Amino acid sequence: MLTRVKSAVASFMGGVMAGGSGTDHPGGSDLPLRYPYSRPEFLGLSTDEIECSADHAARPILIPKETRQLPWSTGYAEVINAGKSTLNEDQACCEVLVVKRRPAGSSTPGRTSGARRRSSLPNGEGLGLRDSLDDSDDLPFHYWALFDGHAGSGAAVMASRLLHHRIARHLQEVMEILCTPNLPPPTCLGEEPLNHHLTPTSHRALSRAISLRGAAGAPGSPGAPPMRFFTEKKVSHESLVIGAIENAFKDMDAQIEKEKAVYNISGGCTALVVVYLLGNLYVGNAGDSRAIIIRAGEVIPMSAEFTPESERQRLQFLAYMQPQLLGNEFTHLEFPRRVQRKEVGKRMMYRDFTMAGWAYKTVEDDDLKFPLIYGEGKKARVLATIGVTRGLGDHNLKVHDSNIYIKPFLSCCPEVRVYPLSQSEHGADDVLVLGTDGLWDVLSNQEVAEAVTCFLSNCDPDDPHRYTMAAQDLVMRARGVLKERGWRISDDRLGSGDDISVYIIPLMDGGEQK
């Protein structure tokens, strides 16, 4: 099994080094691309500039040519990896969209309109584009997203083009409720809730209905069913937006799976998105990218990484309930180290899905199988193959030289956290920072907060480029400088060799638009 693990790592990294063009799709190289490789459109790069950006030796830091392309004076910067993959597998998207009300009497969602501060929607995707946000029947929202691809950039590129449209369509389904303050959502669309916030008129109507029912068979009379009253569960507007984001991720993952049959969509990707809607920031994360708010120097985490270690119990429980997923080659139990045959019959510490701590068990023959989760920190892997446990794509990914699929253990469901932007006062230096794991591998939350706060405090508060320059500075700190012993950052620490993408979103600018 150790030989297989080494081969799996070599194969996985080999696919990455090759750019992942179809490495997880049989015959994928013969299929047309769903979308060609590109960099975020808001960067405004030419074909030649995109090619130059892939220089692994120079690793140029890219920023938008015009900061006005992004809403709220958002700052953005990115840099390619140091040779880990041929292409930059990070992707980014930033949009201002508008959700239109469905036509009266329509049982299916209508079209979603996108209002753009820049031209970035992919061919409109069949959507009617609007030029303004003045229609009171429309619901505008702002969107930022980072996608970190692995084993190819195909899934990341596709998600960057389409996920925001999925979110808009799910928001459209609940738009009537979101646009009506304090209206409880009906159980079924188009139906009024029963016995909830009854008006005097509805009380009289209900009493009359009870009287009529009593005439036909009153409660307690022979043959009449017992009378019961049910109250509706109160569903907040925030939970409806969260549900829209969650369902959009699920739909996006299903679309990638479906279209892999006809298009070359390589690999998978993590996804970190931010939606600003009706005074709230919604941060949805599936993967190991990270978002933090820096407010008056204080750090507020807005996401948590999903890794084999952080999701150990979920993965172990799934393997326990469906042992066939392990292919009789893995064990769902965790041990401090690999169990050796000479230790059968002896006692060793272990953890199961029911346990947060450790205990002893007697080692059995089944415990000699390779563990479902192996390694620590960034080296931890699921089924000896992949180091993230949530994201999009990876439907055909298998354990090397086996028929064991890894996708059942990889969830596309994001965790969504809400920040009530409209309920707080913010200064010019209060920001939301989004970054792929290339940033957080080498810089802590506090280091990022101190760097951003220090940089912004030395900038002119009225300079519209200050957030872009802060993002550029942050990427440079994480990348470091190329020396004889590789890329180095402060204190001669090893810099990030991964792709790095960073948004810095000012919260005060957002507050002015509420």
pLDDT of residue 186: 56
Q: How confident is the model at residue 206 (pLDDT cuts 50, 70, 90)?
A: very low
Contacts of 107 (CB under 8 A, 6+ apart): none
Decide if pLDDT at 223 tops 80: no
Write down the pTM of the prediction: 0.84
290 closest CA partner among 160, 441, 170: 441
Amino acid 183: pLDDT: 53
Q: How many other β-carbons are positioned within 10 Å of the β-carbon of residue 283?
A: 25
Higher pLDDT, 30 or 200: 30
Is the pLDDT at 320 greater than 80? The verdict is: yes
**What does the angle CA 336 – CA 342 – CA 345 come to, to the nearest 5 degrees?**
80
Kindly indicate the confidence band of residue 1, based on its pLDDT and cuts at 50, 70 and 90. Answer: low
Closest CA to 36 of 171, 209, 166, 152: 152
Residue 166: alpha-carbon gap to chain centroid:
13
Q: How confident is the model at residue 16 (pLDDT cuts 50, 70, 90)?
A: very low
Beta pairing partners, 494: 488
Extents of the domains making up the chain: 2-180+235-306+413-511, 312-387
Mean pLDDT, the chain, whole residue set: 84
Task: Identify whether the C-beta of residue 438 lies closer than 8 Å to the C-beta of residue 90.
Answer: yes
Residue 341, burial from CB neighbour count under 10 angstroms (0-12, 13-18, 19+): exposed
Range of lowest pLDDT (125-129, 205-209, 397-401, 477-481)? 125-129
The percentage of residues in the chain with a pLDDT greater than 90, rounded to a whole number, is: 70
Per-residue tokens: 340 = 């050796």
Share of the chain above pLDDT 70, in %: 77
* Helices 466-479/445-457 angle, 10° precision: 140
CB 62 within 8 A of CB 77: yes
Structure tokens at 379: 């080296």
Beta pairing partners, 231: none
Q: 120-129, 201-210, 384-393, 475-484 — which is least confidently predicted? A: 120-129
Question: How many Cβ atoms sit within 10 Å of the Cβ of residue 377?
Answer: 10
SS3 310: coil
Whether 249 shows a pLDDT value over 90: the answer reads yes
pLDDT at 30: 86
Provide the pairing of β-strand 370-371 with 330-331. Answer: parallel
Separation CA 404–CA 397 (nearest Å): 9
Q: What was the pLDDT predicted at 489?
A: 94
What pLDDT score does 216 carry?
44
Whether residue 153 contacts residue 37, with contact meaning beta carbons closer than 8 Å, is answered with yes
Per-residue pLDDT at 298 exceeds 60: yes
Nearest to 449 by CA among 426, 469, 422, 429: 429
pLDDT digits (tens, 9 = 90+) for 419-429: 999 998 999 99
According to the model, what pLDDT value does residue 185 have?
55
Q: Tell whether the model's pLDDT for residue 214 goes beyond 50.
A: no
475 pLDDT exceeds 70? yes
Alpha carbon distance 408, 419 (integer Å): 31
Mean pLDDT across the stretch 207-236?
57
| Predicted confidence band of residue 380 (pLDDT cuts 50, 70, 90) | very high
Level-2 CATH architecture, domain 2-180+235-306+413-511: 4-Layer Sandwich (3.60)
What whole-number distance in Å separates Cα of residue 346 and Cα of residue 395?
A: 39
Mean pLDDT score, 373-383: 93
Residue 197, pLDDT above cutoff 50: no
431-445 tens-digit pLDDT? 999 999 999 999 999
Q: What pLDDT is stored for residue 233 in this prediction? A: 83
Q: Looking at 206-220, 295-309, 342-356, which range is the least confident one?
A: 206-220
Q: What's the whole-number mean pLDDT along residues 359-388?
A: 95
| pLDDT class of 200 with cuts at 50, 70, 90 | very low
pLDDT score at 231: 72
CB 349, CB 316: distance < 8 Å: no
Mean pLDDT of 271-275: 98
| Non-local CB neighbours of 304 within 8 Å, separated by 6+ positions | 285, 310, 415
Output the pLDDT for position 64.
Answer: 95
Q: For 40-90, what is each residue's pLDDT tens digit?
A: 999 999 999 999 999 999 999 999 998 777 999 999 999 999 999 999 999
